[in-house]
């Protein structure tokens, strides 16, 4: 697998080997981040494949989204010979990542305590629902921690908790796993020793709502759900406009208020002393916003967007995810890259996927390898571990690998 950029320079994690025993979103996100940054990431799958390869509905995009730039080896961990392969492979790694329930990896001798005896420099990243404590044996999902961690309460209307529309904790949890792995690798460079890293969904969610917890600590007032919040800004909302359109508009400073009123011809609102400062406008929201909604309803969303862009004011069209494929900024900044879909009815067809939201030396880390087919690299990896062709054939015959 090529681990250089299009400019020919090595990616930051070139030369590192990561073995991941992961599924769903959280663990695979960690591996994807490390893979995009240049690591050789080997996905260990069961003989019948990671089940996210065949999910329907909201899960249909999981596998192709979070498993690019990886190799796949299929191993039956219940087969003694297969387990020996897994242990040999894991002990050859710089980083092992896993997101199974507590105790699963230990039963197979694939936990940190077992593997670190074979490789004292190993970094071992656990992705779990909860950090060790009273909740650690609970089964967690993104939805579970959003509900118990206050995020669903903040997103929904009063009395109607609503999960965020993306797997925010799974994705961020995997990102923190990757951050922890890279921090541990830096420390290994000084000490020569590896360590265990823990990332967890619940604790990740608590970080996301930490600003609302701190709001309570500072003001003594509980944070209200987003639809009922007391905004910090006088104008900061979605407005219904002409022809059934919608647009988000914001005016977050006194200078922007002056600009907004001049651009829209609202001299009367500009002169009103009730609107003199941002805090004045916040206090006047009960009357100001209905008046703005009445006036803005006469304009089309495209017209308002052009006006706000021309005057440097914050705005946003209300888009659906599928519309982003045609977004001019994403396409101009190389934010999308093509992959070949590995599974399902559209297997073999090309699609575009989103890249990490960063640049290194002026370039986006891209797609070096498509999401792998099940067991695509099994023979190659077995050979790299020192298995002879006859031994590889015997493993296949015994259904220890696929």
> Locate tokens 């690798």: which residue?
185
The answer as to whether 217 is a domain residue is no
Q: Is residue 123 a contact partner of residue 184, using CB atoms and an 8 Å limit?
A: yes
pLDDT for 58 beyond 80:
yes
Tell me what percent of the residues of the chain surpass a pLDDT of 90.
95
Residues 311-338: pLDDT tens digits? 999 999 999 999 999 999 999 999 999 9
Same domain (yes/no): 253, 195: no
Give the residue-averaged pLDDT of 108-127. 98
The answer as to whether 8 is a domain residue is no
Same domain (yes/no): 238, 312: yes
Give the residue-averaged pLDDT of 378-384. 98
Same domain (yes/no): 180, 260: no
Q: What is the CATH number of the domain that holds 315?
A: 3.30.1540.10
Give the residue-averaged pLDDT of 118-137. 97
The pLDDT of residue 198 is 98
The answer as to whether 257 is a domain residue is yes
pLDDT for 5 beyond 60:
no
Same domain (yes/no): 287, 255: yes
Give the residue-averaged pLDDT of 168-192. 98
The answer as to whether 181 is a domain residue is yes
Same domain (yes/no): 197, 236: no
pLDDT for 74 beyond 70:
yes
Question: Of 288, 320, 352, at which residue does a domain stop?
Answer: 320
The answer as to whether 4 is a domain residue is no
Same domain (yes/no): 152, 41: yes
Question: Of 298, 320, 342, at which residue does a domain stop?
Answer: 320
Q: Is residue 270 a contact partner of residue 261, using CB atoms and an 8 Å limit?
A: yes
Same domain (yes/no): 341, 310: no
Give the residue-averaged pLDDT of 183-211. 98
Q: What is the extent of the structural domain holding 260?
A: 231-320
Same domain (yes/no): 138, 48: yes
Band (pLDDT 50/70/90 cuts) for residue 4 is: low
Same domain (yes/no): 165, 311: no
Same domain (yes/no): 96, 201: yes
Same domain (yes/no): 188, 248: no
**CA–CA dist 123, 126 (Å, integer):** 10
The pLDDT of residue 8 is 61
Band (pLDDT 50/70/90 cuts) for residue 228 is: confident
The answer as to whether 60 is a domain residue is yes
Give the residue-averaged pLDDT of 358-373. 96
Question: Of 320, 351, 380, at which residue does a domain stop?
Answer: 320
Number of domain units in the chain: 2
**What is the SS3 assignment for the chain?**
CCCECCCCCECCCCCCEEEEECCCCHHHHHHHHHHHCCCEEEEEECCCCCHHHHCCHHHCCHHHHHCCCEEEEEECCCCHHHHHHHHHHHHCCCEEEECCCCCHHHHCCCCHHHHHHHCCCCEEEEEECCCCCCCCCCCCCHHHHHHHCCHHHHHCECCECCCCCCCHHHHHHHHHHHHHHHHHHHHHHHHCCCEEEEEEHHHHHHHHCHHHHHHHHHHCCCCCCHHHCCCCCCEEEEEECHHHCEEEEEECCHHHHHHHHHHHCCHHHHHCHHHCCHHHHHHCHHHHHHHHHHHHCCCCHHHHHHHHHHCCCCEEECCCHHHHHHCHHHHHCCCEEEEECCCCCCCCCEEEEECCCCCECCECCCCCCCCCCCCCCHHHHHHHCCCCHHHHHHHHHCCCEC
Q: What is the CATH number of the domain that holds 152?
A: 3.40.50.10540
* Claim: this prediction has a pTM higher than 0.75: yes
The pLDDT of residue 241 is 97
Give the residue-averaged pLDDT of 160-186. 97
The answer as to whether 215 is a domain residue is no
The answer as to whether 326 is a domain residue is no
Question: 153-162, 226-235, 236-245, 317-326: which has the minimum mean pLDDT?
Answer: 226-235
Same domain (yes/no): 108, 56: yes
pLDDT for 7 beyond 70:
no
Question: 88-102, 229-243, 292-306: which has the minimum mean pLDDT?
Answer: 229-243
């Amino acid at each position: 697998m090529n681990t250089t950029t299009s400019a020919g320079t090595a990616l930051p994690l070139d030369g590192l080997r990561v073995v991941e025993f992961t599924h769903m979103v959280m663990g695979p996100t960690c591996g994807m981040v490390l893979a995009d940054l240049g690591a050789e990431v080997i996905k260990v799958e069961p003989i019948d494949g990671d089940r996210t390869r065949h999910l329907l509905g909201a899960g249909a995009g999981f596998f192709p989204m979070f498993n690019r730039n990886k190799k796949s080896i299929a191993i039956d961990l219940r087969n003694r010979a297969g387990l020996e392969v897994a242990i040999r492979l894991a002990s050859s790694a710089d980083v092992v990542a896993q997101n199974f329930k507590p105790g699963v990896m230990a039963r197979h001798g694939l936990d940190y305590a077992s593997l670190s005896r074979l490789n004292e420099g190993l970094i071992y990243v656990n992705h779990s629902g909860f950090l060790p404590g009273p909740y650690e044996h609970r089964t967690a999902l993104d939805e579970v921690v959003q509900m118990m961690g206050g995020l669903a309460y903040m997103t929904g209307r009063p009395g109607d908790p609503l999960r965020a529309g993306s797997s925010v904790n799974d994705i961020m949890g995997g990102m923190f796993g990757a951050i922890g792995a890279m921090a541990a690798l830096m420390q290994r460079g000084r000490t020569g020793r590896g360590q265990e890293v823990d990332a967890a969904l619940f604790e990740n969610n608590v970080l996301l709502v930490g600003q609302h917890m701190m709001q309570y600590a500072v003001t003594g007032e509980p944070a209200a759900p987003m639809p009922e919040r007391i905004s910090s800004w006088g104008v900061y909302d979605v407005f219904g406009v002409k022809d059934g359109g919608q647009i988000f508009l914001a005016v977050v400073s006194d200078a922007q208020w002056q600009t907004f009123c001049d651009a829209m011809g609202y001299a009367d609102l500009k002169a009103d002393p009730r609107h003199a400062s941002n805090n004045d406008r916040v206090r006047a929201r009960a009357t100001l916003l209905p008046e703005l909604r009445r006036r803005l309803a006469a304009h089309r969303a495209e017209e308002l967007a052009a006006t706000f862009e021309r005057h440097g004011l914050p705005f946003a069209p209300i888009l659906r995810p599928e519309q982003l494929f045609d977004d001019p900024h994403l396409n101009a900044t190389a934010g999308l890259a093509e992959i070949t879909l590995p599974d399902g009815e559209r297997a073999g067809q090309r699609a575009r996927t989103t890249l990490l939201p960063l640049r290194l030396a002026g370039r986006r880390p891209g797609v070096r390898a498509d999401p792998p087919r099940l067991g695509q690299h099994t023979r190659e990896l077995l050979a790299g571990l020192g298995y002879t062709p006859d031994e590889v054939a015997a493993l296949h015959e015994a259904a220890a690998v696929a």
